[in-house]
Amino acid sequence: DTGVSQDPRHKITKRGQNVTFRCDPISEHNRLYWYRQTLGQGPEFLTYFQNEAQLEKSRLLSDRFSAERPKGSFSTLEIQRTEQGDSAMYLCASSHGTGGEQYFGPGTRLTVT
Amino acid sequence: GQQVMQIPQYQHVQEGEDFTTYCNSSTTLSNIQWYKQRPGGHPVFLIQLVKSGEVKKQKRLTFQFGEAKKNSSLHITATQTTDVGTYFCAGINAGGTSYGKLTFGQGTILTVHP
């Protein structure tokens, strides 16, 4: 399977704990995006990378969220001191170049109890 | 900031009926994309529209991009049960530096009764 993969698929954590998610994009894609989706809503942009450079971060993203793409390949999204409001599906997508179609991974469903 | 609105939020149709969802952006778009998300699945790309007034067809699906590049529509002719899912439009803002950043609408949930 050469699609976008995400790990883990599900994560249940207690409020206040830190969590980290991983995304492996399609290998030749230089752009990688993180989105958050809650029930009944469309994906909400969080941040994106071109190669290893983080080009934009949503103003809605608190300082508890950080993302990296150290070698321009896989990416990690960390949430520190999780809150119940962080419960959502976290989607990763990748694309080749700018403005084109994005390929989404299956997502990581986070539940904060 | 940019907002993308979709109507209707829900649409229930009998199999064989037509379906249309409408998308409106608060800002001019450089392009608009449409995605389909099946229940329990992730968004899957359907099409991208770039030119003002552009119309594209994929079998029973017809996509339009408005002349002002601020609105779009998706029309499905003779729906089938396989069309069930949520249809999202997503726009990229014209100008600026957010090239590639998609702003999604809230989606239209389509159910098809056999």
Q: Which residue of A has its CA nearest to B94?
A: A99
Please report the pLDDT score of residue A71 as a whole number: 87
Which residue type, as a one-letter code, is found at position A22? R
Please report the pLDDT score of residue B96 as a whole number: 61
- Between CA A73 and CA A6 the distance in angstroms is 13
pLDDT beyond 60 at A1: no
> Per DSSP, what are the bridge partners of residue B92?
B31, B102
Residue B107: Cβ-neighbour burial (10 angstroms; 0-12, 13-18, 19+) = buried
Rounded to the nearest integer, the mean pLDDT of chain A is: 93
Please report the pLDDT score of residue A49 as a whole number: 93
A56-60, A97-101, B22-26, B86-90: segment of lowest average pLDDT: A97-101
Please report the pLDDT score of residue A97 as a whole number: 74
Please report the pLDDT score of residue B23 as a whole number: 98
**Cβ-defined contact of A101 to B33 (cutoff 8 Å):** yes
Mean pLDDT for the stretch of residues A89-110 = 91
- Between CA B110 and CA B112 the distance in angstroms is 7
Report chain B residues whose CB lies below 8 A from the CB of A55. Answer: 97
Report chain A residues whose CB lies below 8 A from the CB of B98. Answer: 56
**Cβ-defined contact of B48 to A98 (cutoff 8 Å):** no
Which positions in chain B have a beta carbon within 8 angstroms of at least one beta carbon in chain A? Answer: 1, 4, 30-31, 33, 35, 41-45, 48, 88, 90, 92, 97-107
**Cβ-defined contact of B101 to A48 (cutoff 8 Å):** yes
Mean pLDDT for the stretch of residues A57-67 = 89
Q: What is the mean pLDDT of each run of 10 residues along chain B (114 residues)?
A: 92 98 95 95 96 97 97 98 97 74 95 95
pLDDT beyond 70 at A34: yes
pLDDT beyond 70 at A99: no
Please report the pLDDT score of residue B97 as a whole number: 61
Question: Which of A41, A50, A51, A109 should we substitute to test contact with B (largest number of B Cβ atoms within 10 Å)?
Answer: A41
A2: pLDDT confidence band, cut at 50, 70 and 90? confident
pLDDT beyond 70 at A98: no
Report chain A residues whose CB lies below 8 A from the CB of B41. Answer: 106
Per the model's pLDDT, the better-predicted residue between A101 and A17 turns out to be: A17
**Cβ count within 10 A of residue B84:** 15
Q: How far is B72 from chain A (nearest CA, A)?
A: 16
